[in-house]
Amino acid sequence: MTRIVSYNILAGGYSLRENGARRVKQLVKMIQSVDPDIVGVVEATHPMLTHKPLVIEEVAEELGMQLIMGGDAAHRHDYQLALLTRLPVVSTKLHPRPGLLNKPLMEVCVREENGEELTVFVTHLAAYFYKGWAGNGIREREIEEILQITRPHREQGIPHLIMGDFNSLAPGDRFKASNLLRYVLRMDKNKKDAAVADGHPNLNFVVPEPLRIFNPLLRIIPASPLLTMLFDVAASSYAPRGSIRKMLAGGYTDSFRHTNAYAGGFTCPAAAPAGRIDYIFSSPALIERLERCYELTGGEDIKGEHASDHLPVAAEFGIKVQAVKEKHEEKDAAIR
C-alpha cells in the first residue's frame, strides 16, 4: 500500500494573525493520522518568513520524512511547493515555465515497497478569482502546459499522478458559495491589519472588479435563507470548470470522484467547506491500483480548520504484488 496526501498548509504553516505562530504540531497531527508515504505540499513557505528552521522543515523532521523543495515561484512574494517522502527518491526535476506556470511544476520519482517506480507531480494553479473568467483562462493555459510536460509519461505508460491545489471546481461538483462568502466576510471583519499577507482571501480577491458594486448586497446575503439559496445557484452556474475538464480530457482520472460518486469532498475553506479545489489525478497506468480516496476533516485530536484553511486529500494505492512477481519470474527465466 502506498499512501499519498495532497495538502495546502496555508502561508508556509505560519499564522500571521497570531504574530506568526507556527502550526507545526497541528500540521503534524493531521498528516500523522494518515501515515502517508508521500505528501505533496502547497504553500510550503512564506516569502516574508525565512528564519530557520522553517515550519515545513520542522514538520519533515517530526514526521521523519525527507524534504524536497519545489524551487522559487515566478513572483518573489509567492509561496513554494514541497514534497515529503519516506520512500527512496530516484530522481527530482523542476519544470519552470515563466509566463505560463505561476510556480514550477515539481516532479519526483520514488521507489515503492515492491521495487516499482512511481512519479509524482505537484502543482499549484493560479487563483486570480478577482479576474473572473480571465482567471479561468490563465488556469486553463497552466493545465495545457502541465499536460505538455507530462505527455511522455502518458505515452510511455509510466505510472504517475498529479496533485495539488488547482483552485478550480470539477464539472458536476457542487459549490456552496454562501459558505465561502460567510468565511471571507468573517476573515475580513477579524483582520486587524489589512496589509498582512496571511493567505486568507478577502472579498475583493474573490469578486471580479466589475461585480464589486454588489459588495454591499453580498454582505447581507448570509442573513437571508432565500438570498443564500439564490446565491448558491447563481454562483454554481457561473463558476468556471474548464481547468478540470481539460485534465479529464487529457486522460487523467479524478481519484476522489472515481471512488466517491456522490460525496461532496469539499476541501476549502476548512472552517466552512464550500467546494473541492484540491485533487489527486491518477494516470491510466495507475488508476487501476486506486483503492480509496478521501478528504481528511481532522487528525489526531484536532479539527482540520485548526491546521490550515484547506483540508488534505488522501489516496491509497494497492501494490500489484502478482504483477511484480511475474515480472521477476520473467527475468529469472531470461537469465536461465
Q: First CA to last CA across the chain, in angstroms?
A: 32
**Residue tagged 485530536 (cell numbers):** 301
pLDDT in tens, 288-335: 999 999 999 998 899 999 999 999 999 999 986 444 445 445 545 554
Place of cell 487501476: 288
Residue 271 counted as domain residue: yes
Q: Note the pLDDT tens digit of each residue in 105-155.
A: 999 999 999 899 999 999 999 988 777 778 889 999 999 999 999 999 999
DSSP assignment, residue 195? T
Evaluate whether residue 202 is within a structural domain.
no
Q: Which three cell numbers stand for residue 108?
A: 519526483
Q: What is the total count of domains within the chain?
A: 1
220 backbone dihedrals φ, ψ, rounded to 5°: -100, -10
Question: What are the residues whose beta carbons fall under 8 Å from the beta carbon of 145, sequence distance 6 or more?
Answer: 97, 100, 101, 105
In a domain, 187, yes or no: no
The model's pLDDT over 6-29, given as tens digits with 9 standing for 90+, comes to 999 999 999 988 888 999 999 999
Percent of the chain with pLDDT over 90: 71
Q: Does some domain include residue 225?
A: no
User: What percentage of the chain's residues is helix, strand, coil (to nearest 5)?
Assistant: 40, 25, 40
Is 186 part of any domain?
A: no
| pLDDT at position 194 over 70 | no
Distances (CA, A) of 226 to 181, 219, 229, 230, 265: 15, 14, 5, 6, 25
Band of pLDDT at residue 193, cut at 50, 70 and 90: low
Average pLDDT, the chain: 90
Q: What is the pLDDT of residues 241-270, one digit of tens each?
A: 999 999 999 999 999 999 999 999 999 999
CA distance 41 to 59: 11
Q: 288, 318 in Cβ contact below 8 A?
A: no
CATH number of the domain enclosing 121: 3.60.10.10
Task: Give the pLDDT score at 322.
Answer: 46
What pLDDT, on the 0 to 100 scale, is given for residue 323? 46
Q: Using CA atoms, how far apart are residues 82 and 80, in angstroms rounded to an integer?
A: 7
Task: Kindly report the pTM of this predicted structure.
Answer: 0.90
Dihedral (CA of 201, 204, 208, 212) sign: positive
- On whether residue 71 sits in a domain, the answer given is yes
Which residues have a Cβ under 8 Å from the Cβ of 289 and sit 6 or more positions away? 159, 317, 318, 319, 320
Taking 50 as the threshold, does the pLDDT of residue 94 lie above it? yes
Range of the domain at 159: 2-172+240-335
Residue 92, classified by CB atoms within 10 Å of its CB into exposed (0-12), middle (13-18) or buried (19+), is middle
> What are the φ/ψ torsions at residue 83 (nearest 5 degrees)?
-140, 135
Percent of the chain with pLDDT over 70: 92
User: By C-alpha distance, which of 210, 207, 178, 204 is closest to 191?
Assistant: 204
In a domain, 183, yes or no: no
Domain assignment present for residue 18? The answer is yes
Comparing C-alpha atoms, which of 278, 260, 259, 266 is closest to residue 318? 259
Distance CA 291, CA 2 (A): 10
